[in-house]
Amino acid sequence: MTRSLDGKVAVITGAGSGIGRGIALRLAEDRAAIAVWDLNPDGAAETVRMVEDAGGKAIAITVDCSDRAAIRAAADATRSTLGPITILVNNAGIAPFTPFADIEEEEFDRVIRVNLKGPWLVTKEIVPDMLAAGWGRIINITSSSTQSGSFAQSHYVASKGGLLGLTKALALELGKTGITANMIPPGSIDTPMLRGAPIDAEAYGASLPVDRLGKVADIAAAAAFLASDEAGYMTGQTISTNGGRYMGSA
């Protein structure tokens, strides 16, 4: 079933490739207008082309989603072209592999700035649109590493754990306003980022209960549900889309 997001405007950060692109395509399929925010202008333009080729509406905005002034300018450009923003997917992030003893303070700060402070800044800019509409969806892409840990990624796991906490705090504070805040911690999803990581992706996928790596479409489907009216009674929740990597307690 296609869930109608007619009249809704969605901002998806890091939508120039990978998971962000997949979510953009899926929400456009559900008839949301899409603002593709990404540092890579070529990737953002390609996502827009794909959305438009499928009959959807999208714009590309080149933006550093950890820079407050750039975020404000991107939001203003989105509003002037598409209208008020009521769906936000905080997907942009970086995931370096560095042993704990080798992480310099500058690298730690950069990971926190991009993966945690960035989503905080973007959300702060966009929530007023949602409050004015009396309806909003905040979807944060965290990581299954917050549930199980990840070797040589202490700074990354810390940043995504902070995003997990932010999601719950927003859900509690905004619950009475018609805005929900939920998170998706992907497992190992077959993306360019994963293929560039220092792991044997195929072997890892074969070790999972589902016997495969995840697909971008798996995460996009979860995001589409959380963006829909059908998910209006869900907030502060974790939709663990990870092929069984982590199974939480009942």
CA distance 160 to 182: 13
Which residues belong to the active site? 156
Domain CATH code at residue 124: 3.40.50.720
Domain assignment present for 179: yes
Domain assignment present for 2: no
Q: Are 13 and 122 in contact (CB under 8 A)?
A: yes
* Phi-psi label, residue 178: left if phi above 0, alpha if psi -120 to 50, beta otherwise: left
Q: Are 213 and 174 in contact (CB under 8 A)?
A: no
Task: State residue 96's pLDDT score.
Answer: 95
Q: Work out the number of other CB atoms within 10 angstroms of the CB of residue 220.
A: 23
Domain assignment present for 3: no
Task: State residue 187's pLDDT score.
Answer: 74
Beta-carbon contacts of 188 under 8 Å, excluding residues fewer than 6 positions away, are 194, 201, 204, 205, 208, 213, 214, 242, 243, 245
Q: How many domains does the chain have?
A: 1
Alpha helices in the chain (DSSP H): 18-29, 41-53, 68-82, 105-112, 118-133, 145-148, 154-174, 192-195, 201-207, 216-227
CA distance 241 to 109: 28
- Kindly list the distances between the CA atom of residue 200 and the CA atoms of 28, 73, 147, 206, in Å, as whole numbers in the listed order: 33, 40, 21, 10
Domain assignment present for 42: yes
pLDDT tens digits, the chain, 250 residues: what are they? 455 899 999 999 999 999 999 999 999 999 999 999 999 999 999 999 999 999 999 999 999 999 999 999 999 999 999 999 999 999 999 999 999 999 999 999 999 999 999 999 999 999 999 999 999 999 999 998 888 888 899 999 999 999 999 999 999 999 999 999 999 998 778 766 655 565 666 676 676 777 677 799 999 999 999 999 999 999 999 998 876 666 765 4
Beta-carbon contacts of 222 under 8 Å, excluding residues fewer than 6 positions away, are 184, 239, 241
Q: Which amino acid is at 207?
A: S
Domain assignment present for 206: yes
Domain assignment present for 33: yes
Domain extent, residue 18, equals: 9-231
Q: What is the DSSP string of 143-179?
A: -THHHH--TT-HHHHHHHHHHHHHHHHHHHHHGGGTE
Q: C-alpha dihedral over 241, 227, 12, 180, to 10 degrees?
A: -90
Domain assignment present for 128: yes
Closest to 156 in 3D by CA, of 180, 49, 164: 164
Task: State residue 115's pLDDT score.
Answer: 98
Domain assignment present for 53: yes
Closest to 8 in 3D by CA, of 184, 138, 136: 136
Task: State residue 250's pLDDT score.
Answer: 44
